[in-house]
Amino acid sequence: MKSKIKIKTKTKLKTKLKQKKTAKPRPEKLKNIALIKSEDNPLIAPIPEHNWEAWQTFNPGVILLADKVHFLYRAVGQDAISRFGYASSDDGFSIDERLIFPVYEQRLTQPGLNYFSLASGGSFGGVEDCRPVRVGTEEVIYMTYTACDQGLGVALTSIKVDDFLKKKWCWQTPVLISPPGEVHKNWVIFPEKINGQYAILHSLSPQIMIAYRDSLVFKTGEYIQSFYDGTNNSGGWESRIRGIGPAPIKTEYGWLLLYHGLDKLDPGKYKVGVMLLDLVHPEKVLMRFHEPILEPDEILQQNGFKPGVVYASGAVVKNGQILIYYGAADSYVCLAYADFDEFMAAITAEIKPHLKYGLLKKIK
């Protein structure tokens, strides 16, 4: 008998949070798009009975395969170690399957408290914030993630698509692709080769930095040299931190990139922004909103390990809708969504997507 849960995630905490919700404002008549936070949030919440995910479940990496959304979410349990759990959804809106055991973890070479990891999300060490990507039609899923072992660095592993779908967790031995002794996070692989090469986006600040490679096989001692400036003076809501979100989504207008930011004048809130990158030369920004499209403005995002955080780490386009999955308060997995064509029309017209509350008919 397979060890899995085929139920929609429900907890006492979720019920309690829903009871706290205040009356929603009536939807405004808008000329542009409405980005909607799901009424079913959180999609994934901690399960106290599972020691490995009893405290936090957040920042999911997602991938669309066989018309199903697959989640690899970060989980922290009673031993304070961060691991990846698995869940899936047929429609993208509700969880149909959730395994009761972790599907990816990394042995620590130096067990004990990792202060970088503690500040990064509340664990003593382990793995953080994965971004699984299938490049074109390759029969491999590549996964970058933050390795919390003797600091914070970016690691890379992979798994065959067939093994992934059959839940045979035969991951390749991970390799560190950022230089040892340096702090790096949030690197993503483009889901398509660019000019015949693999492309790894590894910094947004102070400029976009992309490493182009003929292969994603890294030799011993081979690393990507990156630079991140956390003190950029660009101003606005992202003046302090700017980090990469999900892997870019290819559109006819350019590469759609979601990212998170933090304002020097509002340091307690992580928000989500959006930009478009050139298809052929993605170092070139075609447009970038001056305002965030998602903010921590609900009770759910204020009740958790790190209040005031929305952190988009997964996004797919399914049945004509863009589904954006994000971590809330470093404790839950949530969803915001919109009609994709309307979303892109707003993006290309440089109109900020407004947030409204309410139900949108789900397309199945």
| pLDDT tens digits for range 192-235 | 999 999 999 999 988 899 999 999 999 999 999 998 776 665 66
> Is residue 13 predicted with pLDDT exceeding 60?
no
| pLDDT tens digits for range 205-216 | 888 999 999 999
Kindly list the structural domains of the chain, giving each domain's residue range(s) and its CATH number in brackets, ordered by start.
27-356 (2.115.10.20)
| pLDDT tens digits for range 28-63 | 222 345 689 999 999 999 999 999 999 999 999 999
> Is residue 71 predicted with pLDDT exceeding 60?
yes
> Is residue 3 predicted with pLDDT exceeding 50?
no
33 CB neighbour count, 10 Å cutoff:
25
Strand 354-356 to 34-37 pairing: parallel
Provide the whole-model pTM. 0.87
- Read off the tokens for 284: 């070139």
> Is residue 188 predicted with pLDDT exceeding 50?
yes
> Is residue 167 predicted with pLDDT exceeding 70?
yes
> Is residue 150 predicted with pLDDT exceeding 90?
no
| pLDDT tens digits for range 303-352 | 887 778 899 999 999 999 999 999 999 999 999 999 999 999 888 886 55
> Is residue 66 predicted with pLDDT exceeding 70?
yes
Spatial contact of 330 and 260, defined as CB atoms under 8 Å apart: no
